Every structure is written in structure tokens, then in C-alpha cells.
Structure 1
Amino acid sequence: MVEFIHRNYLEQAGQFQQIYSASSITDAKELLKEKPIALILLDIHLKDGNGLELLAQLRRQQQMIEVILITAANEAPAVKEGLHLGVVDYLVKPFTNQRFQESLGLFFKRKQTLQQANLPQEQIDQLLKKPADTSSDPSAKLEKGLSPETLERIKNAAATLKRDFTIQELADASNLSHVSVRKYIQHLEDRQLLTSEVIYTKVGRPYKIYSMKT
């Protein structure tokens, strides 16, 4: 069930071509040999060993795959070791989808920034810091590619629906693309300005509905 939930969170991000699952360190090592992996969601307590040992081995082998630790282990030594081994983030179970999406945001931001040949001090500083809390102002520090005008258009469209809505319904109401609306929905969700719920059906994949906070 936990694996299903995390996979669903990843699918909602809509940014990954392939998602693989490994229930043990042995399986993970085989996947790493066969597949080009960009991000690992890594638990610490695995049935055949310790996830931190796998992470340490990857670093000794100079494999710079990004890692988000997802674990129930909140002991300070485990957190310290994870940070020293260069994890993108450290999530203690249970956590919300919003918190999970924040971690993915850190991953994508790091990936994009580190593709540059040279980094000014300002960008290095941003890599080493968590995003500032801008929940009181949904248009403050909009991510690259987002505009205040489009954000306002989406909020107005959401208000006209007067009920819970899917991303596609909001896209239709605002006359914008599904991809564009998803980006703004993520921005609003990150700032806790809307609520969401995953709907599970007997047939087909689960889907997500949203409602604006009043």
C-alpha cells in the first residue's frame, strides 16, 4: 500500500517517463545496472539490509544519482548520515502529498540548476536552502514560467466551478492546456491555498480532485 501511494504521488507529478519498484537492496542494485535512474526514493529499513549502506556504496562508486530518503527512521544519527551522503531531502513517514511534492520540487530545481556549466553564488545559495514560505501570497516568487496574470485567470475559473474539480475540468473552464493548469495547481497546493483528495475507483486509475480554500 505504501509503495502504491508513493507511486501515485510520482505519477501525479507527471514528470517521469518510467517508475520502477525494488523491494530489496539486491533488486535495487540490479535495476541500477540495467536502467538509467535519475532519482531514488530510498527507505532505510529494508528486508536485506540498510538503505544508508546502499547510498554510501553509490557515493563510493561516484554515482551521483539523486536520492530522497523516505523512512520511519527519525533518529538524529540516521538523519545526519543521510545529509552527509548528499540526499536531496529526508522525509519521515507518514507525510502528506504536499510535502512529497515539495521534495520533488527540490529535486527538479537541483537537476535544472546543475545542468549549467557555471553557477553564481546566488544559485548555489538557493540549492543549499529550502524555499521561503510564501503561502500568504500565492503570486510571490512565482516559479520560472508562471505568470501572475495566468494564476489569477485560473483562480477565477476555479471560483466559477463552485465545486471540487479535476485539473482537466479547470483547464476547460480557463481555456488553458492541461499541462499549464497542472503547474499552477501545484504552485497553489504547495502554498496550501487549495485542498486535494485522491479518489480511488474500482475500475481504472485513481484520480485527484481539488477545491480552493476560502
Structure 2
Amino acid sequence: MSQRIMNVLLIEDDLMVQEVNRQFVERVEGFRIAGVAGSGVDGIEQLRSLQPDLVILDIFMPLQDGIETLAQIRKEQLCVDVIVISAANDQRTIQRMLQNGAVDYIIKPFKFERVQQALEHYRAMKEQLEGETTVSQSELDHMLFGATGRGVSAADPIQSDETTAAQLPKGLQAVTMRQIVLFLNDRPRPLSAEEVAEGVGIARVTARRYLEYLEKSGRVHLDLQYGLGRPVNKYIISGVKR
């Protein structure tokens, strides 16, 4: 049985970024662009008529920015999921978008692989949630954290009730944790906190906090690499052969 096509509405005012987003989205199997809007006002109008599965939303736009647009989407209870792609990288803005229900947040400039990662995880989560069966805690954790199976299984202690999103240490966000785990899952070699920070689009000190937590909880393995200077802490998903 062929998979359902996911319809995507782009809300982005920069024509060049519009075209990049269009090309990236349509390179991912099972996704197509249903419409493009250059402002939040136009985006809301198209959203009401097109009723897409997913909105890819910028923040800095004329007439109505992405923050106001996402707030309006939630106020009107429009049935759509949102992935933010924006140059806004301050923690307050990111937090506001996540609190209003963005399922992912990608910081410009970005690479195709990051968009592909976001869309494929979104599809997997959507398909599982649209099923008519119930899910267990470990299955839900698997969806939320985005573990792809390399070195991680539903029976792994890192997916148990002891490490659910609700019990993360203060200051750690489930969405950011999911992004880091997804990024590491797609990399076969150990990475430094700086490499993870650059790949995910967060500050190095922030990446280090998440990686240290993941290492203590057994999700990642700490690999000390020695060179001419001080040893460098590098991290890899536990169970991956190095």
C-alpha cells in the first residue's frame, strides 16, 4: 500500500528561501508543497482553505510575524502541525514557539539533511498517532525522542519510565533532547559538543549540558579522544560500533 502524501504549506516571505524550502521538502518522499504564503496573514487564509497536514513557518515576516501566526493558529484551533524554520535563535523566541506547539525548530542557515530528518520523524510520529490502537509509555517516548533504532530499542533502559520527558532535569527540553538524539543517531562516529551544537543549531554550552545528561542516563557513550593537547570529550549513541 502506497503511503499517504503529506501536504505542506510554506509561510515564508523571502523568495529565495521559499524556493529552497520547496525543493528540500519535495525531495523527501511523501511530501508535497500545497501552497506558499509570503506573510502570516496570507498564510492563515491559505491554511483555512487548503487544510494542509503541516505548516513550515518563518518568524520574521511583514504584516504578521510567525509568533503571532502560530498563536492565531492555536487560538482558532486549526488542525495542523507546525515546523519552524527561522533565523531567530534566541531562547525566548524558541521557547514561545515550542510552547505554542511547534513540533520542530530549525535555525537558518540549514542543510537538506536537517529538513529531511524533521520531515521523516514527523511522518513516523504522525502515522503512529493516527493509528486506532493505544500506545505504551516506551512507544510514546520512542515517538517523542525520535530514536531511530540504531543502538536503541524499546526495551533499552533509556526509553523506560525513569527517563520520560516529564522527569527531565530543570532547564532541559524534550524537543531539544529529541533533536540531539536524532542528530547522533544519524552519525556513525563520536562527535564533540561543538559539532553537535553546530549540527543541531544550539549553543555549545547547551549541547554539553544535554550530552552530559544523556551520558549519565546511558543513552550516549563518552569517548575520550587524545591528541597533542587536552583530551576531547566526544559522544556517540550507546551500542553503535566505533
Query: Which range, TM-score by smaller chain?
Result: 0.5 to 0.7
- The 3 A distance-change label for structure 1 pair 119 and 64 is farther
Select the residue among 65, 68, 73 that pairs with 1:58. 73
Aligned match of 2:197? none
Aligned match of 1:28? 43
On the 8 A contact 2:59/2:67 being kept in 1, the answer is yes
**Any unmatched runs of 5+ in structure 2?**
1-15, 154-184, 189-242
Q: Aligned pairs, how many?
A: 141
Amino acid at match of 2:142: Q
Aligned match of 1:107? 122
- Equivalence map 1:29-108=2 (5 Å): 29-108=44-123
Q: Are residues 1:191 and 2:186 paired?
A: yes
Amino acid at match of 1:87: A
Deviation at 1:34, TM superposition (A): 1.3
Amino acid at match of 2:44: K
Give the alignment's Cα RMSD to 1 decimal: 2.2
The Cα offsets for residues 110-154 of structure 1, whole Å up to 9 and x where unpaired, read as: 2101102322212211222133694xxxxx679xxxxxxxxxxxx
On the 8 A contact 1:66/1:107 being kept in 2, the answer is no
Deviation at 1:50, TM superposition (A): 1.7
* Distance in 2 (alpha carbons) for counterparts of 1:29 and 1:77: 24
* Distance in 1 (alpha carbons) for counterparts of 2:125 and 2:31: 16
On the 8 A contact 1:7/1:19 being kept in 2, the answer is no
On the 8 A contact 2:59/2:66 being kept in 1, the answer is yes
Q: Are residues 1:125 and 2:155 paired?
A: no
Amino acid at match of 1:82: M
- The 3 A distance-change label for structure 1 pair 10 and 17 is closer
* Distance in 2 (alpha carbons) for counterparts of 1:12 and 1:192: 21
Deviation at 1:39, TM superposition (A): 0.5
SS at match of 1:21: strand
On the 8 A contact 1:67/1:87 being kept in 2, the answer is yes
* Distance in 2 (alpha carbons) for counterparts of 1:109 and 1:63: 21
Normalised by the size of structure 1, how large is the TM-score?
Answer: 0.60
Percent identity, aligned pairs only, is 30
On the 8 A contact 1:88/1:106 being kept in 2, the answer is no
Displacement over 6 Å in runs of 4+? none
* Distance in 1 (alpha carbons) for counterparts of 2:121 and 2:97: 16
* Distance in 1 (alpha carbons) for counterparts of 2:100 and 2:143: 16
* Distance in 2 (alpha carbons) for counterparts of 1:17 and 1:99: 17
The Cα offsets for residues 83-130 of structure 1, whole Å up to 9 and x where unpaired, read as: 111211100000110011011012101210110232221221122213
Aligned match of 2:19? 4
Normalised by the size of structure 2, how large is the TM-score?
Answer: 0.53
Aligned match of 2:218? none
